[in-house]
Amino acid sequence: NEVVMYRAASGGGLTLTGRFPTGGLGLGSGLGSQGALILSSNGQWLFVVNAGSNEISVFSVKSNGLVFADKVASGGVRPISLTVRKNFLYVLNAGDPGNISGFKLNGNGKLTPLANSTRFLSNNGSGAAPGPAQVSFTPDGANLVVTEKGTNLIDTYKVQKNGLTTGPVTHPSSGLTPFGFAFGKDDALIVSEAFGGAVNGSAVSSYQVDGNDFHLV
């Protein structure tokens, strides 16, 4: 499990500049997720999942490469997706039964588990995980969003000032197999839909997220 870094030239060409072990284990296969490695908004920290050893690794980003800063347990099984806003980071754990768990980030890149931050997905912690794909803060930081491939649901959690969340509130996806997503104009949530991998079956839908209000655009 390692991070591979490339330098981009002005013309778009890429040059390999380094390979950096995470200190944890991968699965040896695809994660079926989005957001397995993410940058802090200031570009100073890189966060990476170790899905095979249930950990998160942190690197300091330098002009000439990455410097290992920290590694912590993910608070669940098989972490696959990360999101960070200011000094709060959340991880999505996809192993049974599935959950999200929060951490606080300090100025040295160290992660500390956020007490009482672990929340279940739509299955309320019972049985198999519902095939989660991605977790992300909304642009205003007021909510967390999680897509579930197995249930065709989109979960939302309200985020309090202390970083803890309430929820989830579940919402039916417009299409089948909601997967990776991003936020666009006017903070619209734009979700890709894999339709179970059907040939020419993929689609995309957009939503407005405002607390528990969730509307298809």
Give the per-residue pLDDT at 212: 72
- Which residues of the chain fall short of a pLDDT of 50? none
Give the per-residue pLDDT at 213: 85
Mean residue pLDDT of the chain comes to 96
Backbone φ/ψ region at 151: left (φ over 0), alpha (ψ -120 to 50), beta = alpha
Whole-number Å distance between alpha carbons of 195 and 203: 8
CB 191 within 8 A of CB 173: yes
For the segment 67-89, what is each residue's pLDDT rounded down to a tens digit? 999 999 999 999 999 999 999 99
Whole-number Å distance between alpha carbons of 171 and 157: 11
Question: 9: which DSSP letter?
Answer: P
Alpha carbon distances (Å) from 59 to 18, 21, 40: 13, 10, 11
Provide the β-strand partners of residue 112: 104
